[in-house]
Amino acid sequence: MHPIQVWPLALVVFLHASSAWAAATLMGVVRENQLGGDLVRNVSVSALGANPVVTGADGQFVLHFPQRKPGENVSIGVSRNGWVVVNDIQLNRALPANASQSPLEILIAKAAERETWALQFYRLQGERVVDARYKKELAAAGLEERARLLREHDQARAQADELARQLATRPAGSGGEDYQKAASLFLDGKINKALEILSEERLKQQGADAKKLHEDTMRSWLLRGQLLAVKFDFDGATRAYDEAVAFAPSSYEAWFAYSFFHQRQNHFKESHWGYKEALSLARASGKKEVVARALNNLGNLHGDEKRMAEARKAYKEALKIRCALAQQNSNVYLPDLAVTLNNLGVLHRDENRMAEARGVFKEALKIQRDLAQQNPDVYLPAVATTLNNLGLLHYAENRMAEARDVFKEALKIQRDLAQQNPDVYLPAVATTLNNLGLLHYAENRMAEARKAYKEALKIYRTFAQVAPAAYEPDVRRVQTNLDALP
């Protein structure tokens, strides 16, 4: 399989120049699983008003619309036995004015693997949109504003990640026409146009229209909140989430999204209230997977507030549920199980329950390694995180050789990830280098400690030039460690 390539967010759509009657053409390609994946043959591609086609060895298709014009909306149908579309939200789109400049890339996967690949696709596209917005804001920001923007960038990425989860897990076609149009525009990087579709006036009008589906309007409010957060408009996002739970007070989905947003903003009171409502609704629904999700996030919230006993109780209940679910369907539920194991391991370590921490970290690591064998782009960052957690545990227990091995493995993974996305992963490289420096110092390996500290310091200083408030504490910490060397 080929490495991932990031296409321009418009899906591949080649459009030939229109004829005298302004007919439209849509061209594109079908790939396996991911952007840049293998080309797929024998896929039927069709649309109302166009000639149906079947892809050849090059995976390409051309749809001619003799009675339609550029700018008109079409819905693309894709069919291959046993396979489903990964990026289905982008199949409903406007015909382009120039097909050759707007290619549509359709991704298909085996039905059992669709959610995993969809999560990767929507996450990568969402991160790209957030990063582009961040760079634009950063270019116009003053020195003090840059530290704020860095914090907001992390918050915006968290919202984009939650949106990716929702898009990947939603039933095909759900959310309503406006929701699907706005989500597609967001994936194309057109946030303002997406928000025009999801304007407050329009959503309030839909809420008053008895003919509109209740859930569709609620999901549109949530999507508006996520898009505003991605734009770094957190006040506007707060209003949208308030509207969502006011409009649908009996919706687990609304309350969970509301709570997650406020948790990332450190609004603990609102987050507690929301998770309490979400958990109550989840238990009433009888859906174990949503109960476990609410419990896991509630455990994170308790941990943030240093309410350790309550965090442990929430994690253990979530763990029990996720273990049972993973036994029934490992492909779907193992990633969630690893997340809760890692969270519980951090809690055990913070409470000096070292044997218990080691056990759950190793269990989480085994799961994540197996998942990364199948899908490294999605799961290798989680492997590196768990390795670092395990290394810190070994270091605290004076198990130096084991600590060195896992830190070095984590560092190699993070360096590889940083080659692709330095803004995201270089700080993680610096963190692991500092951990290795501490380990070398404890073992009296001063030359190696100095080398690790200097590289970490160089990375942190580079980031501190952009966001001093965020990274100056790291600069001082590593500089102190370096100055302590003989």
Average pLDDT over the chain, rounded to whole?
Answer: 87
Report how far residue 333's alpha carbon sits from residue 132's, in angstroms, rounded to the nearest whole number.
32
pLDDT reading at 246 higher than 80: yes
Cβ contact 231:133 at 8 Å: yes
Cβ contact 338:367 at 8 Å: yes
pLDDT at 11: 34
pLDDT at 210: 55
Residue 210: partners with Cβ closer than 8 Å, 6 or more residues away: none
pLDDT at 60: 94
Report how far residue 53's alpha carbon sits from residue 96's, in angstroms, rounded to the nearest whole number.
19
CATH class, domain 24-112, is mainly beta
pTM of the model: 0.76
Can you tell me the mean pLDDT for 48-58?
A: 93
pLDDT at 5: 32
Q: What burial class does residue 81 get, using C-beta atoms within 10 Å of its C-beta: 0-12 exposed, 13-18 middle, 19+ buried?
A: exposed
CATH fold for domain 282-374: 1.25.40
pLDDT at 16: 39
Q: Between the CA of residue 276 and those of 20, 171, 258, 271, 314, what are the distances in Å?
A: 61, 26, 11, 8, 12
Cβ contact 457:475 at 8 Å: yes
Q: Give start-end residues of each CATH 2.60.40.1120 domain in the chain.
A: 24-112
Q: Give start-end residues of each CATH 1.25.40.10 domain in the chain.
A: 282-374, 380-486
Instruction: For domain 380-486, give the CATH superfamily.
Output: Tetratricopeptide repeat domain (1.25.40.10)
Cβ contact 348:315 at 8 Å: no
Cβ contact 161:147 at 8 Å: no
